[in-house]
A and B are shown apart, each in its own frame.
Chain A
Amino acid sequence: MPGPPVWENAMDDRSELKDIKKSYGKKEVLRGVSMPLEKGRAIALAGPNGSGKSTLLRLLAGVIPSGGGEFWWQGKDLLRDRALARRAVAYVPQGTPLIDELTAWDNLRLWYDRDALERSLQEGMLRQLGVGDFLKTAAGKLSGGMRKRLSIGCAMSGQPEILLLDEPTAALDLVCKQALLDAFALFRQQGGLILMATHDLLELGSCDRVYLLSKGALSLYDYDGDSRRLAQVLETA
């Protein structure tokens, strides 16, 4: 259920996306996207292919430059304060950002220092993700679910407050999906915000709010679990 709009709160806690724009040449991909953000929430971005979901996530992650707008989190504009953004925001793309020849341990060591890694494996998010079971296996030899868990584990290295996920459970079996959703729930309990682009009904059902992104414009969608209605909306979007 949508919470109260955050932008009505005091400026110090201001957390929202405001008028985010992006164009590739003359093609407008995002046309003034705005939405409130709140700690502990999970927000889903649904929309037809090519609607700009991945572009929005990449833009918020700092992979691509924005064409204007603001990304406020706890009173700071993360599109301008890139140093803070690198610490506060974690991005997990649809593919797996791993080095296939190296073991899971080596991939994690790319992002974590040794102490933090061992701590997280014992009691942190990596334990929740079950990454410790395949530390010595080369990333290229892991199953799809393991690779996704490892990717998310790598992204969590800086103890981020915002997790940007691009179709996180696509092509995974139900057990893997549920394990990941449990990990996301834990992250939210700790005050994290999740913003995910998805088509998956299970993921949509796990989110507090669902937004539809169509032709670069964002609108709130009241998802009630009716997949047929959602499919019709997406088809006409």
Chain B
Amino acid sequence: MKGGNYLYAQGKRALRVLPQMLILSLLLLAVGMLLGQMLTQRSKEEPSKKKTQVGVVADRSIGFVAEIFDGLENFDASRFALDFIFLDEEEALRRLRAKELSAYVVVPDDFVDSVYAGQVDPVRYVTLSGASGTTAQLLTEVANAVSRVFLEAESALVGARDYVTEALPEADADASDFALADRYTALTLSRDKFYRVEILGYAASLSTEGYYFCGIGTLFLMLWAISTSPLFSRRSKELCRVLSARGLGPGKQVVCEFLPFLVLMLVGLGVIMAASGVFFRLYGAEPPSLEPLRSPRAWPVLLGQVLMLCAMEFFLYEVESSPVEGILLQFLCAVAQGYICGCVYPYSFFPKGVRILGSLLPAGLAIRSFTGLLSGEGGTWVFAALYALGFLALSVLLRRRRSSR
């Protein structure tokens, strides 16, 4: 038994699946793009809905309070534009209940004095949505940031005031207090400093469109395997046994089946990218700049990610290849990984443990490489290749185990 014959036969199978896979993929792509177009259009028409509204109950006459919230408003590495609205607590509560606000933050009137007196009168964060959900997590993070910024600012101010009182007893302590506060917030709370302190972005130098292009692209690559299910659901286990008996063991079988699948995915990917280009041109939409992807140095990284995701999908079909269960497994793995790894929301929204897990999963590795390439930070193919080898090795083990039963 020659491996070449089996490879050729599998290539023929893949060719037969190609048209239906492309039709399904193009349909999905068209629906996705229409959806994207509608969402973009809607957000253009309703600019106010773009922002998460957060109320602020605070004395705005204290200069640094306003500056701190201006700073937070520019805190947009999270890809959500936050809108801080100053209002009194009664109004804030009314708007929160009417769901016009996502939350509100109360900075007590005597906050500065209480800190100065060594007491803790905490900044309150009020929301309806509880601790679950990404928006709630974001808002909790914002509340934490507000608390930290206030407390750190106050620590600095109290220290400075003590120094002024001791060094310049003739100076007006209250006047210098406010002047110090203004200067502190103006000098210390610059945006750059802010970004370094609270890292919310996945790739800080990448635009929102660029980030979501990478995220949705990764998710699409994972979900796309569903369209190739006919290639796997009709595999004959008896054929695997006979092939083994004739000298074509599980290792060679897996290689001969995986290669056409990989080529099929690459061909399909090329067609879909071309179709996307046509779509962007037809609708006059501006795609994110893909210039960095044209560099030859980007190709191994890109190919590595596609190889890894294809190997993962192949392995999942090896685990379960029946039409219903196999598709369900692919779908669940794609959606779960997509969610944790930041294809749907930037993964910086999640707790640290989930972030670490997400960055180690194949989808996390892929999206990090894609965003790295687009933002010019570069990416790696080595881990992706290792992952691919691991998935293929597991597939061989599964095949061997199944054939020997």
Contact = CB atoms under 8 A, between A and B. Distances in A.
Interface stretch (A58-66, A203-211, A223-231): A58-66
Contacts of A93: 238, 241-242
B237 interface: yes
Contacts of B17: 101
B282 interface: no
Contact of B9 (A82, A94, A97, A106): A106
A102 interface: yes
A71 interface: no
Interface in A138-168: 140, 154-155, 158
Interface string B221-238: 000000000100010111
A232 B403 CA distance: 34
Contact of A99 (B1, B13, B237, B244): B13
A192 to B, nearest CB: 17
B234 A101 contact: yes
A91 interface: yes
A86 B247 contact: yes
A5 interface: no
A99 B236 contact: yes
Contacts of A94: 238
Interface string B8-21: 01001100110000
Contacts of B5: 109-111
A166 to B, nearest CB: 9
A44 interface: no
Given A102-B12, A106-B9, A111-B5, A61 B404 contact: no
A61 B403 CA distance: 12
Interface in A41-93: 58, 61-65, 82-83, 86, 89, 91-93
A89 B245 CA distance: 9
Contacts of B9: 99, 102, 106-107, 109-110
Contacts of B6: 110
B246 interface: yes
A111 B238 contact: no
Contacts of A13: none
Interface in B117-154: none
A102 to B, nearest CB: 6
B242 A91 contact: yes
A34 interface: no
Interface residues on B, range: 20 to 34
A63 B403 contact: yes
B1 A102 contact: no
Interface string B245-256: 111000000000
A63 B404 contact: yes
Interface in B6-47: 6, 9, 12-13, 16-17
Interface in A157-209: 158
A40 to B, nearest CB: 23
A95 interface: yes
A197 to B, nearest CB: 14
B239 interface: yes
Contacts of B236: 95-100
A107 B5 CA distance: 10
Contacts of B247: 82-83, 86
B242 A97 contact: yes
Given A58-B245, A63-B244, A65-B404, 16 more contacts: A61-B245, A62-B244, A62-B245, A92-B242, A93-B238, A94-B238, A96-B236, A97-B238, A98-B236, A100-B234, A101-B16, A101-B234, A102-B9, A106-B9, A111-B1, A155-B242
Interface of B: 1, 5-6, 9, 12-13, 16-17, 230, 234, 236-239, 241-247, 403-405
* Closest CB pairs A-B (n = 6): A97-B239, A95-B238, A97-B238, A97-B242, A61-B245, A93-B238
23 contacts: A61-B245, A62-B244, A63-B245, A63-B404, A91-B241, A91-B245, A92-B242, A93-B241, A93-B242, A95-B236, A97-B242, A98-B236, A99-B13, A99-B239, A100-B236, A101-B234, A106-B12, A107-B9, A109-B9, A110-B5, A111-B246, A154-B242, A158-B246
